[in-house]
Structure 1
Amino acid sequence: MFLGICICLCAAFCLGSVFVPLKKFPPSDGFTTQLFMAIGAFAVACVTSVLINFPPVYPVALLGGVVWSSGNALAVPILSRLGMALGILIWNSVACVVGWATARFGLFGVPQMLPDSHILNYMGIVVLVVGSVFYLFVKSNVVEDETGESNVDAKDAEEPAVPATERLIAIGGAMLSGFFYGSMCTPITMLQTRKDLYPGMPSQGLPYHFSFFTGVMFTSGLIFAGYCVFKRNQPYMSWNLALPAMCSGAIFSSAMGFLFVANGLLSQTIAFPICMMAPGIVAAAWSVLYFREISGRRNLIFLGVASTFTFVGVTMVTVSKDTSH
């Protein structure tokens, strides 16, 4: 239990830090960024594969990477219409609920994974979702980097008015992305738990890491190729974004490795809500302490309330693993 919580915290720190290397650079249109992230993530997956003696590629686990890349492809259009805070709030909340419900109720062929305390588990999920709403009221400062280019949040802070129809479509897209993010571990969970369908599959998570990111690399490449065709072979390329994006991908790949291991130690009912919501606290710490993009009494109060709800919710979900009915 203790080891599983420590691994969850490592995953949360990495997930909350994924976009830190990109923070000082313009976000481009997202498709090039996703491709370089996939390259960095795949490189880490190759190292992991070497360290665990070259496990085979599992086609079902590869589907998890396809699912993640499909959801991530929608991210930039969504954020350009909803803003960073609202977009991420919607898809993280949906991902948290989908990932938890999949394991809790045995959806999509995954066996039911029941916590020891149903009440604490339910209450923890509710507290996490309520806490995430407070992030809506936290506003970032508009900060320009040393080259005079606005950083990622500057674009969001100066959003033009978006027509109501586009906004509703973007909200639906954010919910769809959240569904993809919440479902990305489902294929691997099935391999680990459905021994009747997949006999002889490893019960540990790391052997599937390389397969997952093979799916990420393959799908991101296809998406970028389609984007190049759409742009008539004139994609937006910002080469100063390449290395930071690969670093972000490497961090994300490390985070997923921790998440796969944590799912096996704690079950997805416990690990997934923690790893989806706790990164918000990490990201908030980066914003306040390093980037100085969140300031002012009002913003810090809302941020403190949101972080407190998140911490309490994560604690309740964690404790529900070891508490009797």
Structure 2
Amino acid sequence: MSDNGTDLTTGFISSSAAILLFGSNYVPLKKYNTGDGMFLQWVLCAAIWLVALVANLILRCPKFWPFAMVGGCIWATGNIAVVPIIKTIGLGLGLLIWGSFNALTGWASSSAFIFFFIKSEIPNNTYSVDTAPLMTEHVTDEIQDPCPGHSWVDNLSTVHSRAVGCSLAVISGILYGSTFVPVIYIKDHGKRNDSVYSGASQYDLDYVFAHSSGIFLTSTVYFLAYCITMKNNPKLYPEAVLPGFLSGLLWAIASCCWFIANHSLSAVVSFPIITAGPGFVAAMWGVFVFKEIQGQQNYLLMIFAFCIILTGALCTAFSKV
């Protein structure tokens, strides 16, 4: 009984930490020039892999299952769209939509459609002198591109920008929701003597290094393909390196907490909780700091959707506890 109580405590503490970090990990990037996001993606994934490497060493290098990398490949593919999403519909609304579709298999999935009706206020020039970065930015005397943060999303009309942002958020959410499938598959088949995965670890955190290796490998392939497409003239943004690395560190720590929560509570319980919570945290950033979501009608829609999400997540969690 005490072991069960310890598992529940560990699981809910890990879930809470994951929610806070997942909801805040893109905040350091919000007011920095990230361009089309491809360079940022690679920096962020490099940080994720380094954290996973440290975790792997602490765990004394458990057996590496290459199939677990597939989940990381899926996540990295969905994460490519993060920068365009933030530029088109904002951090808060973007995370709300992709978080809801991330939990599509849970009871809260129907609330995702409510978020399409919430309007976010995204300025046309997201890199202006009126926005102070959350991290200190050093001014240099070098001649810079007059529109350094310009990317393809900046050419979209308001209607098209919103449609593209919401669509990308949906796709990212669906991909994010599939990242744990390979690990779950390995664990389930690890209990069978006739399986190639026989004897595989049942401790979820043992797979974090393989998962993160898939993330870094995939992001590297995408970045190289991007460099080739750009004829070896990729858009690099040095000022995004430290914020991007910090964002990756926060995400990686949150991911480790999620793996721990999966083991302590089971994925059936942790998944709806952790996918629902970050949207609320990100929305608070969007409302109180970045002013992306404004107006009484939008606030009421957001609160209503959150009530549905919270109800579904709690019902799912307590039905299995």
Query: Smaller-chain TM-score range?
Result: 0.7 to 0.9
Matches within 5 A, 1:123-272: 125-126=107-108, 129-130=110-111, 133-134=114-115, 136-140=117-121, 142=123, 147-148=129-130, 160-161=157-158, 167=163, 174-195=169-190, 196=192, 197=195, 198-272=197-271
2:300 aligned residue: 301
CA contact (8 A) 2:22 2:278 kept: yes
1:20 aligned residue: 27
| Alpha-carbon distance change, 136 to 242 in structure 1, aligned in 2, over 3 angstroms | farther
CA contact (8 A) 1:85 1:136 kept: no
TM-score, normalised via structure 1 length: 0.78
Q: How much has 1:302 moved relative to structure 2?
A: 3.1
Q: Whole-Å Cα distance in 2 between the matches of residues 20 and 84 of structure 1? A: 8
| Alpha-carbon distance change, 11 to 133 in structure 1, aligned in 2, over 3 angstroms | same
CA contact (8 A) 1:18 1:248 kept: yes
Root mean square deviation of aligned Cα: 3.3
**Which range moved further: 48-57 or 30-39?**
48-57
Q: How much has 1:83 moved relative to structure 2?
A: 6.4
Match of 1:57 among 64, 71, 91: 64
Q: Whole-Å Cα distance in 1 between the matches of residues 84 and 287 of structure 2? A: 26
Which letter does structure 2 place at the counterpart of 1:203? Q
Q: How much has 1:44 moved relative to structure 2?
A: 1.1
Q: Whole-Å Cα distance in 2 between the matches of residues 211 and 94 of structure 1? A: 25
Stretches of structure 1 that go unaligned for 5 or more consecutive residues are 101-124
Stretches of structure 2 that go unaligned for 5 or more consecutive residues are 1-7, 134-150
2:104 aligned residue: 97
| Alpha-carbon distance change, 135 to 319 in structure 1, aligned in 2, over 3 angstroms | farther
| Alpha-carbon distance change, 158 to 291 in structure 1, aligned in 2, over 3 angstroms | farther
| Alpha-carbon distance change, 212 to 83 in structure 1, aligned in 2, over 3 angstroms | same
Q: Whole-Å Cα distance in 2 between the matches of residues 190 and 134 of structure 1? A: 32
Q: Whole-Å Cα distance in 2 between the matches of residues 287 and 162 of structure 1? A: 20
CA contact (8 A) 2:103 2:272 kept: yes
Matches within 5 A, 1:109-120: none
Secondary structure of the structure 2 residue equivalent to 1:68: helix
CA contact (8 A) 1:85 1:135 kept: no
Q: How much has 1:278 moved relative to structure 2?
A: 1.1
Note the alpha carbon deviations across 1:79-128, whole angstroms, 9 max, x for none: 66666666545433332124x5xxxxxxxxxxxxxxxxxxxxxxxx14x5
Q: Whole-Å Cα distance in 1 between the matches of residues 248 and 128 of structure 2? A: 24
Matched, 1:47 2:54: yes
1:110 aligned residue: none
| Alpha-carbon distance change, 71 to 243 in structure 1, aligned in 2, over 3 angstroms | same
| Alpha-carbon distance change, 149 to 225 in structure 1, aligned in 2, over 3 angstroms | farther
Q: How much has 1:186 moved relative to structure 2?
A: 0.8
Which letter does structure 2 place at the counterpart of 1:275? I
Note the alpha carbon deviations across 1:27-54, whole angstroms, 9 max, x for none: 3101111001011111211221222222
Which letter does structure 2 place at the counterpart of 1:259? W
